[in-house]
């Protein structure tokens, strides 16, 4: 029973590491696109958001969204490290 539990914890840790890797790649891509969008400031994007939206607001909302996503990734990273260490402790027993 313990061997099955340890394998499930290890599988959860591996899935967590893959999720963290993919999310970090997505965050990097989103940050690069955000920087390009803010530096270019295309007119079609302003019309897409609506008449009352200014570029200062777009920058603020985008920066907050990326910062919150980074905090979520940090939290996922802490959980994944804990699962990995727990799996190794169970494997030693």
User: Which residues are within 8 A (CB) of 12 and not within 5 positions of it... i.e. 6 or more apart?
Assistant: 83
Model confidence at 91: pLDDT above 60: yes
Rounded CA-CA distance 84/78 in Å is 10
Rounded CA-CA distance 5/86 in Å is 11
Q: pLDDT per residue over 35-48, tens digit each?
A: 999 999 998 888 88
Q: Domains of the chain: which residue ranges?
A: 2-92
pTM of the model: 0.86
């Amino acid at each position: 029973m313990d061997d099955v539990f340890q394998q499930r914890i290890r599988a959860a840790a591996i899935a967590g590491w893959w999720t963290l890797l993919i999310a970090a790649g997505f965050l990097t891509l989103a940050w690069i696109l955000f920087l390009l969008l803010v530096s270019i400031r295309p007119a079609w994007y302003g019309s897409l958001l609506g008449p009352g939206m200014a570029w200062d607001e777009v920058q603020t909302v985008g920066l907050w969204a990326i910062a919150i996503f980074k905090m979520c990734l940090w939290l996922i990273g802490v959980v994944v490290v804990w699962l990995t260490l727990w799996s190794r402790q169970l494997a030693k027993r």
